[in-house]
Copies of this chain bind each other. A is one copy, B any other.
Amino acid sequence: MPRSWSSDLPTSPDQVVFSRTHSLIILFLYPDLFLVNTAQCLSGPEIGLVLIPGIDEEVAKLLKLKAQIGGDEGKHQFTLKTAKGTRDYNPKQMAIRERVFNTIIRCFKRHGAETIDTPVFELKETLTGKYGEDSKLIYDLKDQGGELLSLRYDLTVPFARYLAMNKITNIKRYHIAKVYRRDNPAMTRGRYREFYQCDFDIAGQYDPMIPDAECLKIVHEILSELELGDFRIKVNDRRILDGMFAVCGVPDDKFRTICSTVDKLDKMSWEDVKSEMVNEKGLSEEAADQIGQYVSMQGGMDLAERLLQDAKMSQSKQACAGLTDMKQLFSYLQLFQVTDKVVFDLSLARGLDYYTGVIYEAILTQNCPVNVSATQNGVDEKAEEGVSVGSVAGGGRYDGLVGMFDPKGRKVPCVGVSIGIERVFSIMEQKAEASARKVRTTETQVMVASAQKNLLNERLRLTAELWNAGIKTEVMYKKNPKLLSQLQHCEDSGIPLVAILGEQELKDGVVKLRTVHSREEVDVSRAELAEEIKKRTSDV
């Protein structure tokens, strides 16, 4: 499908796309010549769209001329950008990403988790019927004469497919990988079309609420260790929601759609939510008001106990089962000493269809500094941003998903949590920007340098010695670099030590070891150099 010329007008020289029509190429290469030759044909901004009779001969002539002048063979022929909604990670971003991942993986391993990996694409049918309306956001691969494939939309469905395919009934695993959603990236800032998910799940038939409590403990540990500021973990249960809907008089076939509306309470006022229930979804005003009373409730184990005594709520078997489990969950959370951050919140609904029991979501409660520079979409964007910005983890129990893949429908109960890692990255990046401390992108301990000429071979020899001793070492790829530029490189990239070689040092069998920040220098015997460097950089 060819795009219209006007929408593709280059906005910067780097984005110039050369059309295959020579008449247009030449317009960019020799605008002056072109204007002189064809001025009578042109009319203002439509300059590029005018077809000029006889121009092709001119073009051929000019191209020949150009070829003789030379120097443009390598000329750019591409749109120099990444795909819409995606980005490169530069070394600084990668250094931050690595630190965040390390914290999270350390926590997952502390809890005895294994890890697996699945392919980036799945058979299209594997993803079909799992994501409801969001299915339109799935990236499909082109039919190139084989299976129909789609990029994974999350890590949960591939996990369920993996369990069913390998007949695994017990596993505690984490999976950190990229997922893909053809969302409109400009509308929801901080949201990309390619982004990381960071999932921890426990599959298996166990006594109620023990693995569920461990998932919440993990969220608590990770958010505490990442030092993102204060947070709350809201919990609820799909059975409590469904029971509540039943006793409030919501018809069975409206449970899921009313649930989606309740899910908007973190972004909309109760009045707007009620109006959507009544006016759009056709719920009676009375039922909506009853729901309104419940969803304003927050508490802990006490609230679960109170609701078990509630005249209406206690009529629903489902609600009672959920509330009994909620009490049990809080008793385990007390043992884990995390109840300070956990709130039983009846307004929490969560979007996904596949949850069957406990659900939870963690939010940052402090005003975290969010990048508000991109305001091209104005109001919409702000509204989107406003309230839900703080959500950094979420999950729940999904006991039916694996059974959807099993040939015999055998169920494998699962509970899991997903860390909203992209949001964590951007908070960490902003913290790094704000902090005076520089983010190092390498771990280099020492630079081998020289103040004198003709010592390249000696520098390389010493560098290899240090590499072989396990020291992270850099050396400049120049025959005779200036000492100043060698020291400057250390300053720039945070290398703490310089090992300086000179004729005298070589004679004496020593190396001058310089501490970059203090400029202190001391002679160290060559035999002891590696040990000395290790000692001085043990805290790096």
Contacts and interface: CB of A to CB of B under 8 A. Distances in A.
Contacts of A194: 119-121
Contact of A444 (B76, B112, B204, B207): B112
Contacts of A164: 76, 80
A142 interface: yes
Nearest to A400: B74
Please list the 5 inter-chain residue pairs (A to B) with the smallest Cβ-Cβ separation, ordered nearest first: A74-B409, A91-B114, A206-B477, A86-B119, A76-B407
Interface in A333-355: 335-337
A221 interface: yes
Interface of A: 1, 13-14, 16, 71-84, 86-91, 94-95, 97-98, 109-123, 125-126, 139-147, 149, 151, 161-162, 164-166, 171, 173, 178, 180, 182, 194, 202, 204, 206-207, 210-211, 213-214, 217, 221, 331-332, 335-337, 400, 403-411, 441-444, 456-457, 460-461, 464, 467-468, 470-474, 477-479
Contact of A165 (B80, B149, B173): B80
A123 B85 CA distance: 12
B217 A405 contact: no
A300 B461 CA distance: 20
B140 A144 contact: yes
B109 A442 contact: yes
Given A125-B78, A207-B479, A407-B14, A217 B83 contact: no
B74 A404 contact: yes
A116 B90 contact: yes
Contacts of A126: 78-79
Contacts of A214: 477
A464 B77 CA distance: 59
B336 A460 contact: yes
B477 A409 contact: no
A138 to B, nearest CB: 9
Contacts of A335: 457, 460-461, 464
A408 B87 contact: no
A198 B95 CA distance: 18
Contacts of A95: 114
Given A16-B407, A82-B123, 9 more contacts: A80-B405, A82-B119, A88-B118, A88-B119, A88-B166, A111-B472, A142-B142, A207-B479, A337-B468
20 contacts: A14-B407, A75-B408, A75-B409, A76-B408, A78-B126, A78-B404, A82-B122, A83-B123, A94-B114, A110-B467, A113-B442, A120-B151, A120-B194, A140-B142, A207-B477, A207-B479, A332-B460, A336-B460, A336-B464, A337-B468
